[in-house]
Amino acid sequence: MFYGLKPQLLYSMKRIILVFCLIISGLAAYSQGQFIIGVKGGIDGCFYQFNSGALNIPNNINLNGSGYIKMVSKGPSIPALFELIYGTKKFRVGYQFEYERIMTTSYSVKTYNQSGSYSDTAVYDPTITQHFFCHNILLEYIVYDHKNLRLVPDITFGYFHGISSATMAPYDFSSLNQNRFKIGLALNLEYYFGPYNVVVTPNYSLVPIKAMADPNEKGYMHFLGIHIGMRFNVTKSKQDAEKNPKKKKKEYVNPEEDN
């Protein structure tokens, strides 16, 4: 089932992202900075906690008109990322598309009644399929650059949407979310040789979640893991050119012309 933004907002976001990518491409073409293309994969852990009423719960849970539930899930997630980055000597800005295949097939449900007591229910369904998509603005700053090693912390801000299948899924993206905002922190360890960068990236992302029907029903998704990939410098930067200046060719002078 698809969950997304309102059509007008989605259209505006697409235009903003397109203009942003065109600006990056233009800067790369007419300046001495770097235009970088990157791809990453890896392994993440996805941790989810959500406090819900009767409007947003799995079909097998019945509150009998009162109380609330707390759903907790955790499990692995397989990420895939694509990056378009423009960089100067120290600062980088870019666009990042992020996909997460959430592999969780079980979760726990704590049902609380009005007296405060609760019962635990374990839910397992191997048919649960969850896909998470996010469009991020990426900001990076090079804090260390020595020989062939760089340390580059980054922060990302993005909007997400997703797909959930199976009636027993711990949440339905179509009923979430009033907030579509995601924030992430990461540290890129880059080993570069020529225009190529091998990147290892420990990372953490926080996704606040609220139900559309009732904003009091809310929770969080956490992604924690490590990404590994490659980045390619499409354009040669000014600092690289200064490190490896081209030797000027000696002009030939005909000795007969001096006589």
Is residue 4 very low, low, confident or very high in pLDDT (cuts 50, 70, 90)?
A: very low
Q: Look at residue 70 in the predicted model and tell me its pLDDT.
A: 79
List, for residues 15-50, the tens digit of each pLDDT value.
656 666 666 565 555 556 788 999 999 999 999 888
Q: Look at residue 73 in the predicted model and tell me its pLDDT.
A: 85
Output the six-digit token pair for 28: 């790369």
Query: What is the average pLDDT across 175-186?
Result: 77
Q: Look at residue 200 in the predicted model and tell me its pLDDT.
A: 96
Taking the C-alpha atoms of residue 49 and residue 70, their distance in angstroms, rounded to an integer, is 7
Q: What b/e string do you get for 45-82 counting C-beta neighbours within 10 Å, with b at 16 or more?
A: ebbbbbbbbbebbbeeeeeeeebbbebebebebebebe
Domains contained in the chain, CATH given: 2-241 (2.40.160.20)
Higher confidence at residue 247 or residue 204? 204
List, for residues 211-227, the tens digit of each pLDDT value.
777 767 788 889 999 99
* DSSP letter string, 17-78: HHHHHHHHHHHHHHSSSEEEEEEEEEEEEEEEEEEE-TTSS-TT---TTS-EEEEEEEEEEE
Is the per-residue pLDDT at 182 higher than 80? yes
Give the Å distances, CA to CA, from 64 to 54, 68, 114, 150: 9, 10, 11, 57
Is residue 242 very low, low, confident or very high in pLDDT (cuts 50, 70, 90)?
A: low
Higher confidence at residue 161 or residue 77? 77
Output the six-digit token pair for 180: 């579509």
List, for residues 139-165, the tens digit of each pLDDT value.
999 999 988 999 999 999 988 887 776
Higher confidence at residue 206 or residue 56? 206
Q: Specify which of 124-133, 160-169, 170-179 reaches the highest per-range mean pLDDT.
A: 124-133
Is residue 256 very low, low, confident or very high in pLDDT (cuts 50, 70, 90)?
A: low
% of the chain surpassing 90 pLDDT:
31
- Token look-up 């007419």 returns 30
Is residue 3 very low, low, confident or very high in pLDDT (cuts 50, 70, 90)?
A: very low
Query: What is the average pLDDT across 112-119?
Result: 61
Is the per-residue pLDDT at 177 higher than 70? no
Q: What b/e string do you get for 14-43 counting C-beta neighbours within 10 Å, with b at 16 or more?
A: eeebeebeeebeebbeeeebbbbebebebe
By CB atoms closer than 10 A (0-12, 13-18, 19+), residue 145 is middle
Considering only CA atoms, which of 140, 155, 20, 154 is closest in space to residue 88?
Answer: 140
**For residues 40 and 229, is the Cβ–Cβ distance under 8 A?**
yes
Q: Look at residue 122 in the predicted model and tell me its pLDDT.
A: 79
